[in-house]
Amino acid sequence: MIENESCGEISRSVYYGPKPEEIERDAVRAVEYLQLRSLLDRGTLDELDAMDLVAPVKAGVIAAVLNYLSMTENEYPWRLLDLETPAIVKTSFTIGIDTIPSMIEAIRKSPYPILKIKLGFEGEQDLIKELRSFPDRLFRFDANGAWNTARAEEMMYYLADLNVDIMEQPTGLEFVKEWKYLKKLAGFKLVIDEGMNSLGDYCKYADFVDGINIKMSKVGGILEALRIARLAKSDRCRVMLGCMVESSIGIAPAVYMSSLGEYFDLDGPLLLEKDLSDDIEYMNEKMSLRDSIIGGPRLKKEFNQ
């Protein structure tokens, strides 16, 4: 937090890292850098972007400085980055892996029309059979790289008669070149998530995928995210903006650049017992920014102590 007002959030993956001690080390380095600056300006964003920091720290600190500049310049954060005004975003809501009866019950009780279902477990075909009972839902699936190419091909047939628009990471990265073949079988877009950590990764995989999932805490913040998204748009590659399990403070940069996205998986705050901020509003799947968003999302008073 800068001047007890402007926030950023550092969010890491338990599975993919980085390690807590790496985050602590680089957070200290970033704070020391900011303390040495007599003035924070737009050049500060570029200097932070060029620093050798683990991605979640870089993302969080860049977001905090962007929000600070928004406050001091009395300007919306996205305008500082020459972005269009965010429209109302429609996010998916995640149904995690559980017993099949529990997953079906979660779907039945969910008020969200767009559901992201985690796959890659034993008996997943039985779940898919049950999903035919929900013709009013739009499904997105995420196998988290659990399948090989043969299994992915088989699953395309199981999913063919459902209302699906996206499949995230059907196989591990070692099989991504086979997605050119899988895309011909699928009636939906194949989106890469694992392995999408930089502009270089985009260039490496773009020829084999329909779309990419950009997460701030993986790519190192909104500046790298913009470079990736803008190149993808010029290549006619679909852009999905995603998140970790994080608060509205963490997902705010993705909302700032939502004019460049086509799909959104920004349900992180909905998965928390308490969100840290009220400045992004959810009405079921629809997300919008409060008018008070200049300066970025504010911490709720109960957390700002």
167-226 pLDDT per residue, tens:
999 999 999 999 999 998 888 999 999 999 999 999 999 999 999 999 999 999 999 999
- What local confidence, expressed as pLDDT, does residue 301 receive? 82
* 299 vs 5: CA distance, rounded Å: 8
For the chain, the average pLDDT equals: 94
**Residue with token string 């300007």:** 75
- What local confidence, expressed as pLDDT, does residue 305 receive? 64
Q: Quick check: 9 pLDDT over 80? A: yes
Q: Quick check: 4 pLDDT over 90? A: no
Q: Quick check: 268 pLDDT over 70? A: yes
- What local confidence, expressed as pLDDT, does residue 12 receive? 85
Give the start-to-end residue ranges of the domains of the chain. Answer: 20-80, 89-291
All residues at 6 or more sequence positions from 304 whose CB lies less than 8 Å from its CB, including other chains: 4, 298
| Residue from 265, 80, 236 nearest 166 by CA | 265
Query: What does the pLDDT look like over 140-183, one tens digit per residue?
Result: 999 999 999 999 999 999 998 999 999 999 999 999 999 999 99
Q: What are phi and psi of 102, to 5 degrees?
A: -70, -40
Q: What are phi and psi of 65, to 5 degrees?
A: -70, -40
Q: Quick check: 282 pLDDT over 80? A: yes
- Cα separations in angstroms, 15 against 19, 223, 269: 10, 25, 19
CATH number of 89-291: 3.20.20.120
Which residue spans within 126-168 are E strands per DSSP?
138-142, 164-168
